[in-house]
Structure 1
Amino acid sequence: MEKALFSKRITCLDCKGGHIAKKQRNKRIYICGRNHNYKTCRRNKVFQDYLIELLSMRYNDIVSPEDLSSKVEYIEANEEKIVIYVIDNGKPIISMNDFAQF
């Protein structure tokens, strides 16, 4: 099973709570902790593979998922939007539906 590379670095855009790592069909996902614990927010599922794919598009010379995750300061996410704030560049990676900005 994949290691949870982004634990404690993903915040829900809807409720500002933290996401927790879970396993779904042998894939690592992150869901809103407030949904998981209290059902007071939406699930706001984020796939770890998709986060790695977005980071790979910016850092095409880095191949290790662990090295890619070390570039992340924090992430804000919900079902419609993912914003990845990286350590070494002031511009965040933004993904919305079928659009991504690097």
Structure 2
Amino acid sequence: MILLDDTFLSEVGLAALPAGQRQALLQRIYEELELRVGTSLTDSLSDAQVEEFEALIDHDQTAVAAWLHSVVPNFTEDPLYMAMVEKLSAATPDAVVCEGSAA
């Protein structure tokens, strides 16, 4: 996995950028990657699937619950869910479910 940090900038020859410019560049790279990945993903989805995906990303509780129950009916017993609960111990159960569905 590529981490967008100062090490990344050093590896691509941009370590000498001033701190403010480094942070702005990293943010721009992240936004561009997010756009390109999102575009690539949604190109192969139907309109209904795009709407469902957007609802999951937007943490729409109703959509998340419906998706989870259709895909993983016993999600609370799923090892991934249990790991998320442990990792996000300070989060509400709804937040854990939303974060897990977006992963």
TM-score (norm 1): 0.27
Which of the pair is proportionally richer in helix?
2
- Greater radius of gyration (CA): 2
Report the structure, 1 or 2, having the larger strand content: 1
